[in-house]
């Protein structure tokens, strides 16, 4: 491409559209991360692997030999119990995180693939209902969902009450905690991510390819193995990679289980380790040990490595296409009565187990279940819902979330629309770099970004509005922006793909400038995608967990909803405060349902709630 063509493409509008996202993502994503990585590799003023080697030699970080105890049976005053996970396994903080994320990814891939194949490939009564119910686990209930599962799986929990005390199906009572509980909670929360991505891939498969294999004598399983599964791999790979990264950074499960079980092996994960070390440095950055930076770099390396492995599937172009679905009528068959029975058994069992955290959260919000001391609630109450409008600390958290999320959504709207338009319409050098830049936040765990902000802005913006010890709320706006901008950009990019360039070219040929064409032609044509992306970004920001609870610990009065929820679930001793967190979760779910309704009914869009 010649210099003249580049100058023609880089008109004032395009230059501004390039400048805004590149500046935002460079200053609030790349620079803090690079600075954190650099700090981790320096010891006493020189380049060194000292902090990494000290971590790897730490028996808490990598346990040698590992504790592989999985279960034990013990007689207690409440009866004979089978304890799963309370004494092990424990392979050390690093290996625990890798193993947990690997198992969550494996189980989520299996459940997501099977459920997507059933929904995409077969017709049966109630299919549309199951399609919707499979998304219920993605409704945001941070921290509270793990607390609910702790109430269910505990010694005096609902599971033992039903299956041991009432139905007498179990010879002993069961308690599940530690790493097995983490795997269970994360799997039922994250498998819909794989389900949505695989579903999109299956819908986009040309049915003639499967029909040709069938005409050549291939049976159902062989068609699935040789044709359907390979063609659905982009969705399966992208969904599985997202699950691995989200599982690796998840703080909701270990903090929620801490509220139900107290400290335990569920805290021996790298995400919780970094968060806990971060909280020790509330006074100054010097109180955060440099090994925390090293562990953050290790976590960043693992997430980035997974992202690079599936890079060809999650570029903005491919990522947008996955969300749109295909051009073909998918190959769908009607199930016989035996198939319907098997499908019902699988889907009802899966949905019942996966939706229980959301159901339990609602029960916590309107009953005394959190402190009743019994497996079941004993009375209804509206005081926890009313507290959302009466308690000053709760109102402050809600107000903070609304302000931060609205401001971040506005920035994402400008930067995301600009970057999507440049990638979709302009032919300039460096466009692929912009594509990578707006996609890579998917691979960056929020707690890592929070550590990078602490280091960089406390060093170079001390005593200013960007000092995390003075104004973490402002930094939260930018963390929301950079972490959620891929989904805004994806939505707008998908809208641009569905709009032909000829309308813009006609406007330019009639004498309108690029700026006027963009405002008068492009924006109205993609307005539904812009609104849908903005709503989606707003919900994602309201539900943001890891950066919210980490940065807000520096100034709790500036904390959003999720920070307040983490505090009352993790360390509350007051009766009923966990139920207030449940009421806040009900509020978040309500907002999410409203956005889903607007997107599907009014804007005629289907949005995927990844819930990170």
Overall average pLDDT of the 214-240 stretch:
77
Q: How confident is the model at residue 584 (pLDDT cuts 50, 70, 90)?
A: very high
Question: Across the chain, what does the average pLDDT equal?
Answer: 85
pLDDT: which is higher, 43 or 177: 177
Q: What is the pLDDT of residue 495?
A: 82
The domain segmentation of the chain, as residue ranges, is: 3-602
Question: Tokens 């993605």 label which residue?
Answer: 138
What residues pair up with 75 in beta bridges, in sequence order?
80
Assign residue 163 a region (left: φ > 0; alpha: ψ between -120 and 50; beta: otherwise).
Answer: alpha
Detail the DSSP E strand segments found in 102-244: 122-123, 173-176
Tell me the percentage of the chain whose pLDDT exceeds 90: 40
What Cα–Cα distance (Å) separates residue 599 from each residue in 54, 316, 493, 531? 50, 21, 16, 9
Q: What is the pTM of this model?
A: 0.89
Q: How confident is the model at residue 609 (pLDDT cuts 50, 70, 90)?
A: very low
Kindly tell me if the per-residue pLDDT of 189 is higher than 80.
yes
Q: What is the pLDDT of residue 612?
A: 35
Cα 153 from Cα 400, distance rounded (Å): 34
Overall average pLDDT of the 369-389 stretch:
88
Asked if 111 and 194 touch (Cβ cutoff 8 Å), the reply is yes
Overall average pLDDT of the 90-103 stretch:
95
Question: Tokens 């023609």 label which residue?
Answer: 8
Q: What is the pLDDT of residue 329?
A: 64
Q: At what angle do helices 577-597 and 392-425 cross, to 10 degrees?
A: 30
Q: What is the pLDDT of residue 57?
A: 85
The whole-angstrom distance between residue 109's C-alpha and the CA centroid of its chain comes to 16
Kindly tell me if the per-residue pLDDT of 323 is higher than 50.
no
* pLDDT, tens digit, 9 for 90 and up, residues 485-500: 988 888 888 888 878 7
Kindly tell me if the per-residue pLDDT of 190 is higher than 90.
yes
Overall average pLDDT of the 583-587 stretch:
95
Tell me the percentage of the chain whose pLDDT exceeds 70: 90
Q: How confident is the model at residue 564 (pLDDT cuts 50, 70, 90)?
A: very high
Q: How confident is the model at residue 330 (pLDDT cuts 50, 70, 90)?
A: low
568-603: burial string, b at 16+ Cβ within 10 Å, e else: bbbeeeeebbbbbbbbbbbbbbebbeebbeebeeeb
Q: What is the pLDDT of residue 292?
A: 84
Overall average pLDDT of the 324-330 stretch:
53
Which segment, 2-11, 171-180, 430-439, is predicted with the most confidence on average?
171-180
Q: How confident is the model at residue 319 (pLDDT cuts 50, 70, 90)?
A: very low
Q: Kindly report the length of the chain.
A: 612
* pLDDT, tens digit, 9 for 90 and up, residues 109-144: 999 999 999 998 889 999 989 988 998 998 888 999
Q: What is the pLDDT of residue 360?
A: 93
Q: How confident is the model at residue 575 (pLDDT cuts 50, 70, 90)?
A: low
State the CB neighbour count (10 A cutoff) for residue 398.
18
Cα 565 from Cα 397, distance rounded (Å): 9
Overall average pLDDT of the 200-227 stretch:
73
* pLDDT, tens digit, 9 for 90 and up, residues 388-398: 999 999 999 99
Q: What is the pLDDT of residue 324?
A: 43
Alpha helices by DSSP H, listed for 250-336, are 252-261, 270-280, 290-309, 316-324
Kindly tell me if the per-residue pLDDT of 610 is higher than 60.
no
Least confident window among 73-77, 374-378, 402-406, 581-585: 73-77
Encode 122-142 in three state secondary structure. Answer: EECCCHHHHHHHCCHHHCCCC
- In the CATH scheme, what is the homologous superfamily, with its name and number, of domain 3-602? MetI-like (1.10.3720.10)
* pLDDT, tens digit, 9 for 90 and up, residues 232-276: 888 888 889 889 999 999 999 999 988 888 778 999 999 999 988
Least confident window among 170-184, 295-309, 493-507: 493-507
The DSSP code for 460 is H
pLDDT: which is higher, 602 or 318: 602
Kindly tell me if the per-residue pLDDT of 606 is higher than 70.
no
Kindly tell me if the per-residue pLDDT of 366 is higher than 60.
yes
Overall average pLDDT of the 352-377 stretch:
90
Kindly tell me if the per-residue pLDDT of 22 is higher than 70.
yes
Q: How confident is the model at residue 601 (pLDDT cuts 50, 70, 90)?
A: low
* pLDDT, tens digit, 9 for 90 and up, residues 60-81: 898 988 998 888 888 877 778 8
Encode 53-116 in three state secondary structure. Answer: HHHHHCCCCCCCCCECCCEEEEEECCEEEEEECCCCCECCHHHHHHHHHHHHHHHHHHHHHHHH
Q: What is the pLDDT of residue 321?
A: 42
């Amino acid at each position: 491409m010649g210099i003249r063509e580049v100058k023609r493409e880089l008109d004032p509008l395009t230059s501004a559209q390039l400048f805004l996202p590149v500046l935002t993502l460079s200053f609030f994503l790349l620079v803090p991360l690079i600075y954190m990585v650099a700090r981790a590799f320096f010891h006493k003023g020189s380049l060194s692997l000292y902090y990494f080697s000290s971590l790897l030699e730490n028996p808490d970080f990598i346990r040698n030999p590992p504790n592989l105890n999985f279960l034990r049976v013990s007689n207690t005053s409440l009866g004979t119990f089978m304890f799963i996970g309370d004494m092990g396994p424990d392979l050390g903080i690093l290996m625990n995180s890798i193993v947990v994320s690997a198992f969550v990814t494996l189980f989520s891939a299996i459940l997501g693939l099977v459920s997507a194949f059933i929904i995409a490939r077969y017709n049966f009564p109630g299919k549309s209902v199951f399609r919707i119910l499979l998304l219920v686990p993605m409704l945001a209930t941070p921290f509270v969902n793990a607390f609910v599962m702790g109430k269910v799986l505990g010694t005096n929990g609902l599971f033992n009450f039903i299956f041991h005390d009432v139905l007498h199906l179990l010879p002993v009572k069961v308690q599940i905690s530690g790493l097995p509980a983490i795997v269970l909670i994360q799997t039922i929360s994250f498998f819909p991510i794989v389900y949505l991505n695989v579903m999109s891939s299956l819908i986009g498969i040309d049915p003639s390819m499967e029909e040709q294999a069938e005409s050549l004598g291939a049976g159902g399983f062989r068609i699935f193995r040789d044709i359907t599964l390979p063609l659905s791999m982009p969705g399966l790979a992208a969904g599985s990679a997202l699950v691995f990264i989200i599982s690796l950074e998840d703080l909701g499960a270990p903090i929620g289980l801490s509220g139900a079980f107290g400290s335990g092996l569920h805290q021996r994960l790298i995400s919780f380790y970094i968060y806990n070390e971060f909280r020790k440095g509330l006074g100054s950055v010097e109180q955060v040990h440099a090994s925390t930076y090293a562990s953050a770099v290790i976590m960043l390396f693992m997430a980035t490595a997974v992202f690079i492995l599936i890079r060809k599937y999650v570029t903005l172009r491919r990522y947008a296409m996955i969300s749109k679905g295909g051009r073909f009528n998918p190959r769908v068959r009607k199930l016989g009565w035996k198939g319907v029975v098997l499908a019902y058994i699988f889907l009802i069992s899966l949905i019942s187990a996966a939706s229980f955290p959301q159901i339990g959260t609602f029960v916590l919000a309107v009953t005394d279940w959190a402190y009743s001391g019994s497996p079941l609630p004993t009375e209804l109450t509206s005081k926890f819902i009313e507290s959302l409008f009466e308690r000053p600390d709760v109102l402050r958290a809600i107000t903070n979330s609304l302000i931060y999320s609205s401001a971040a959504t506005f920035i994402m709207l400008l930067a995301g629309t600009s970057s999507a338009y440049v990638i979709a319409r302009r032919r300039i050098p460096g466009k692929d770099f912009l594509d990578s830049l707006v996609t890579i936040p998917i691979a960056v765990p929020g707690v890592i970004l929070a550590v990078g902000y602490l280091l960089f802005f406390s060093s170079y913006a001390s005593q200013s509005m960007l000092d995390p010890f003075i104004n973490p709320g402002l930094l939260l706006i930018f963390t929301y922006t950079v972490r959620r901008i891929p989904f805004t950009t994806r939505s707008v990019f998908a809208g641009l793909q569905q709009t032909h360039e000829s309308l813009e070219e006609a406007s330019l040929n009639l004498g309108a400038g690029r700026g006027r064409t963009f405002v008068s032609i492009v924006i109205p044509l993609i307005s539904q995608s812009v609104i849908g992306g903005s709503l989606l970004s707003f919900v994602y920001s309201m539900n943001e967990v890891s950066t919210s609870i980490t940065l807000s610990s520096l100034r709790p009065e500036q904390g959003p909803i999720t920070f307040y929820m983490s505090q009352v679930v993790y360390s509350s001793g007051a009766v009923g405060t966990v139920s207030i967190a449940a009421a806040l979760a009900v509020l978040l779910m309500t907002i999410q349902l409203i956005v889903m309704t607007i997107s599907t009914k009014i804007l005629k869009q289907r949005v995927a709630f990844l819930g990170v």
